[in-house]
């Protein structure tokens, strides 16, 4: 199965894998699964780091893609179709974070298993989102 990490899951996978639940940890450790990261997550990390809203233990935002490559994970393309059709994803329960929403939309369109602990994800499952917590 192809997994897509949300931004928080990306940071946890690199620095604090013990924060994952059993289901997510098993999915991440399975050699049958491939792990994918969106450039949106790199942008979110860099932006929040610059604003002082995110601290990364022992590294900087520009090192995260290096760690992803060393782990053998895949960086997906952010294609025109995904961003052009983004308006079709409704905002649910006041969930307005554009980074999260674009990652959710990518997971739905590309049929990724989305690794996230976001509380509003069950509401997106009726639109085709498959989650792993």
Q: How confident is the model over 66-101, as pLDDT tens digits?
A: 999 999 999 999 989 999 999 999 888 778 889 999
Q: How confident is the model over 9-66, as pLDDT tens digits?
A: 999 999 999 999 999 999 999 999 999 999 999 999 999 999 999 999 889 999 999 9
Residue 80: CATH number of its domain: 3.40.50.1010
- The residue range of the domain holding 57 is 2-132
Mean pLDDT across the stretch 102-115?
96
Question: In the chain, where does DSSP find H-type helix?
Answer: 7-15, 22-29, 39-50, 64-70, 80-84, 98-110, 121-124
pTM: 0.94
Q: Closest Cα partner for 126 from 95, 104, 100?
A: 104
How many domains, in total, are found in the chain?
1
- What integer pLDDT is reported at residue 9 of this predicted model? 96
The kind and range of the H/E element at 112 are: none
| Strand, helix or coil for residue 26 | helix
């Amino acid at each position: 199965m192809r997994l897509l990490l949300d931004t928080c899951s990306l940071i946890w996978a690199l620095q604090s894998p013990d924060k994952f639940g059993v289901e997510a940890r098993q999915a991440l450790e399975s050699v049958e699964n491939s792990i994918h990261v969106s450039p949106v997550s790199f942008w979110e990390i860099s932006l929040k780091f610059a604003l002082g809203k995110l601290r990364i233990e022992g590294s900087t935002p520009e090192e995260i893609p290096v760690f992803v490559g060393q782990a053998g994970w895949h960086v997906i393309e952010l294609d025109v179709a995904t961003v052009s059709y983004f308006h079709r994803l409704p905002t649910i329960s006041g969930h307005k974070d554009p980074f999260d929403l674009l990652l959710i939309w990518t997971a739905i369109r590309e049929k990724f298993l989305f690794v996230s602990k976001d509380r509003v994800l069950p509401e997106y499952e009726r639109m085709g989102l498959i989650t792993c917590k």
